[in-house]
């Protein structure tokens, strides 16, 4: 739409997570490094939390890419499953052959055999769960029991949980204290600060083909940072709408008024009196 007007080869602020656009901002870079180190040390449970839109799914995909060829991974993007379905999903992801109509005991036995075979081959088995806050309590307990599968010297399955802050509330229940005690590493993703938002915008524009002067003027950058709260997804929404506004008016840079127009058009970032304070 506006790509040619600004000298872009593609849309820079799409909402679909794209690992090519990953920016190693302090919080996100630290989280990825923690994950790699913790998994290398064969820790059992690792938990990454963050508000909606902070980039958990993108980080999850980056981790899976990082593990490719070095580990046998199972990925569950939607873990809102009963315990039996969890076992079946993990078995399917790990390539375990389960006879049709197999009961839970048989599924777990087949899983155990697969995990032992991987351990003998010195191949780590890692289960990555996105949106972990959606898991029913019974399924979380089933997950804990699944990680009981181990030899005398080797942990057969490592688990990485990605979730919203509600995951912390869920794991704080007294009935789930055993699993919470097994989480040896935890990191909470932080929003981007103003410098990181500026870097984020330049980074994505550059990858989309832009090579001119700063496209977002300081006033627009301030508005986008404050209105988004530094949440990458909201930064994308506001940056995209700001570019649309500038393009619609034939301007070559995004000014403060364009960013305000974007805020006014985005209910998820508006608050009472917000625009009045900034106008």
Domain co-membership, 105 together with 176: yes
The enclosing domain of 108 has a CATH number of 3.40.50.300
pLDDT in the model for residue 155: 79
Which of 258-267's residues contact partners 24+ apart within 8 Å by CB, and which partners?
258/220, 259/216, 259/219, 259/220, 259/221, 259/223, 259/224, 259/227, 260/223, 262/224, 262/237, 262/238, 263/223, 263/227, 263/238, 265/241, 266/227, 266/234, 266/237, 266/238, 266/241
Q: What is the mean pLDDT of the chain?
A: 90
Last residue of a domain, one of 154, 170, 188: 188
- Shared-domain flag, residues 112 and 159: yes
Check residue 101 and give its pLDDT: 84
44 is a domain residue: yes
4 assigned to some structural domain: no
Report percent pLDDT > 70 for the chain: 95
Choose the final residue of a domain: 188, 205, 239. 188
Residue 51 reports pLDDT greater than 60: yes
Number of domains, the chain: 2
Give the model confidence (pLDDT) of 215-253 as tens digits.
999 999 999 999 999 999 999 999 999 999 999 999 999
Determine, yes or no, domain membership for 137: yes
User: Rounded to the nearest 5 degrees, what angle is found at the Cα of 212, between the Cα atoms of 207 and 217?
Assistant: 100
Q: Is residue 19 part of a domain?
A: no
51 and 38 in a common domain: yes
Percent of the chain's residues with pLDDT above 90: 71
What was the pLDDT predicted at 274? 53
- pLDDT for res 275: 52
User: Is 26 a residue whose pLDDT tops 90?
Assistant: no
Q: What is the DSSP string of 28-68?
A: HHHHHHHHHHHHHTT-SEEEEE--TTSSHHHHHHHHHHHHB
94 in the same domain as 32: yes
- Domain harbouring 229, CATH code: 1.10.8.60
pLDDT above 80 for 278 = no
Q: Which among 139, 170, 188 is the end of a domain?
A: 188
- pLDDT at residue 248 in the model: 94
Q: Are residues 78 and 105 in the same domain?
A: yes
Band of pLDDT at residue 146, cut at 50, 70 and 90: confident
pLDDT band at 163 (very low <50, low <70, confident <90, very high): very high
Which residue matches tokens 């500026």? 198
Instruction: Give pLDDT, residue 272.
Output: 43
Q: Does residue 204 share a domain with residue 182? A: no
Same domain membership, residue 239 and residue 208: yes
Averaged pLDDT for residues 84-105: 90
Decide: 143 and 137 in contact? Cβ < 8 Å: no
Whether pLDDT at 268 is above 90: no
Q: Is residue 2 part of a domain?
A: no
Q: Are residue 201 and residue 88 in the same domain, yes or no?
A: no
Could you tell me if 95 and 217 lie in one domain? no
Same domain, 69 and 106: yes
Q: Is residue 259 part of a domain?
A: yes
Which of 26-40, 157-171, 225-239 comes out lowest in average pLDDT?
A: 26-40
- Considering the domain architecture, whether residues 62 and 93 belong to the same structural domain is answered as yes
In a domain, 8, yes or no: no
**226 and 173, same structural domain?**
no
Residue 199 domain-assigned?
Answer: yes
Domain that holds residue 271: 192-278
Arithmetic mean of pLDDT, 81-89 = 94
């Amino acid at each position: 739409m506006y790509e040619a007007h600004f000298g872009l080869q593609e849309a820079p602020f799409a909402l679909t997570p794209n690992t090519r656009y990953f920016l190693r901002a302090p919080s996100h870079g630290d989280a990825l490094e923690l994950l790699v180190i913790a998994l290398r040390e064969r820790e059992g449970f690792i938990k990454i939390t963050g508000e909606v839109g902070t980039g958990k799914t993108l980080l999850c995909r980056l981790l899976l890419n990082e593990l490719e060829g070095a580990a046998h991974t199972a990925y569950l993007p939607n873990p809102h499953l009963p315990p039996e379905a969890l076992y079946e999903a993990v078995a399917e992801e790990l390539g375990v052959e389960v006879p049709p109509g197999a009961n839970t005991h048989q599924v777990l036995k087949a899983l155990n055999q697969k995990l032992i075979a991987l351990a003998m081959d010195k191949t780590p088995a890692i289960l990555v769960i996105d949106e972990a806050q959606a898991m029913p309590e019974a399924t979380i307990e089933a997950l804990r029991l699944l990680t009981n599968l181990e030899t005398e010297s080797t942990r057969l399955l490592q688990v990485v949980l990605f979730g919203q802050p509600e995951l912390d509330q869920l794991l704080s229940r007294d009935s789930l204290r055993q699993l919470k005690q097994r989480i040896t590493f935890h990191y909470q993703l932080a929003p981007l600060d103003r410098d990181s938002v500026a870097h984020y915008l330049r980074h994505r524009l550059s990858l989309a083909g832009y090579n001119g002067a700063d496209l977002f003027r300081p006033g627009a950058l301030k508005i986008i940072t404050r209105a988004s709260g530094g949440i990458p997804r909201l930064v994308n929404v506001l940056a995209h709408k700001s570019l649309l506004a500038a393009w619609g008016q034939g301007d070559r840079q995004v000014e403060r008024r364009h960013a305000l127009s974007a805020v006014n058009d985005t209910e998820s970032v508006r608050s009472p009196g917000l625009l009045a304070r900034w106008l």
